Structure 1
């Protein structure tokens, strides 16, 4: 039954990724954490994250934002993800679970409070190095960088194709750092590796459905549905940690 929830989490992640070009971890990681733990959730997401974003980078290869921003974001994300993965190997599970719940709440709060916030390119270029590093650390430690990475990039208001190309490169760089560190620290077991490989199937299979939904369902309505679902998941994660403590 638990494998069904892994399938469901990646299917929902695929729908969100197909509709928006990103965001699969913000759905998949919390759901998997509910039934397993944070290390399992983060580890089995690495292969689907790497391969699905490789495909998107190739498909949107002519739409990258200027290298001064996109390469710096990806490079610092790589460094941050390596640091975060070491944290994942050592930090207590309850602490990591609470971090996932709190980050999801923070993401929801910012989306609701600042839906139209605009970040000028010059300002983004000045802060991209710390933003990429912090987002990478969060991705490595708890599998969710969206409160920083997606908020940062969305605030620049790029065209959809530019957004997908740039965020996909960022996710590739983080996954490339996570995988060898996970292997080195014993987080990526053979069982998790095969589950991670199989999880690519529902993620990729449901991305076209997300793209279809994006054509017919208003973006605002779709976003609200996702935020409500994430709210329930975040509350459950935080409540489980408190109850267990």
Structure 2
């Protein structure tokens, strides 16, 4: 157990509470609207630690909750056949970004994280829902995949431009939830591989990530329970405003 607790012993009780509270909140957001766990987790933890550390803590909670999300709906095989070029390019884009960029301790990485969060929030608040024509999927999907991978490798945030692209495919609710889970799973595994290659994801970080799973799952359960009691549209708007403020703070103060 000492190895599991070593990371939290090193960072102290205040940061430990921040980690657990962040994953509880991030899981709640994901439970309500089906996305947002990596955005909230990396964004908030980026205020107090390096993005690479925050991304390492994200690996296990993100993987488990995404597998949970994509396991239900009955459209998995069809979505894999349709989206595999984008998923493959997410891996390749993350690999390219890991080689050329990576999440180090430079100030530009924190500003890049802030910029990615701000761009995601503004797109969610103001951009209309686009419609992707089937004829363009064969090149637009891979392009979105490689861009998403590069942004993931630099910031730990893997929602731009993958989420707007998937929302523009005209999928029904169940298909979209599964497609998001599939995309996020691919991004998380690619991010884990990139962090491991750079030596940022060792046994200590993985052990710490395992302990972060409990508050994330609790938050996801709470969010699903709250989904029927609150307006998802209003909550999503408040969520995007919060992400925009957080991104702007990191962009300016990073």
Give the structure-2-normalised TM-score. Answer: 0.85
2:167 and 2:235 map into 1 onto residues whose CA distance is 16
Partner residue, 1:211: 224
Q: Structure 2 matches for 1:1-245, cutoff 5 A? A: 1-63=14-76, 65-87=78-100, 89=102, 91-241=104-254
1:108 and 1:174 map into 2 onto residues whose CA distance is 19
Shift of 1:65: 4.8
| CA-to-aligned-CA distance 1:28-71 (integer Å, 9 cap, x gap) | 11100001111111121112222222222223353555444321
Give the structure-1-normalised TM-score. Answer: 0.88
2:147 and 2:123 map into 1 onto residues whose CA distance is 17
CA distance change for structure 1 residues 61 and 178 in 2, over 3 Å: closer, same or farther? farther
Shift of 1:133: 1.1
1:213 and 1:121 map into 2 onto residues whose CA distance is 36
3-state secondary structure, aligned to 2:132 = coil
3-state secondary structure, aligned to 2:161 = helix
Shift of 1:84: 2.9
CA distance change for structure 1 residues 195 and 167 in 2, over 3 Å: closer, same or farther? same
1:89 and 1:67 map into 2 onto residues whose CA distance is 28
In 1, are the aligned partners of 2:113 and 2:157 still within 8 Å (CA)? yes
Which segment drifts farther, 149-158 or 86-95?
A: 86-95
Kindly indicate which of the two structures has a greater share of residues assigned to helix: 1
Number of residues of Structure 1 aligned to a counterpart in Structure 2: 241
CA distance change for structure 1 residues 86 and 9 in 2, over 3 Å: closer, same or farther? farther
1:143 and 1:46 map into 2 onto residues whose CA distance is 10
Which segment drifts farther, 182-191 or 132-141?
A: 182-191
Q: What residue ranges of structure 1 are gaps of 5+ in the alignment? A: none
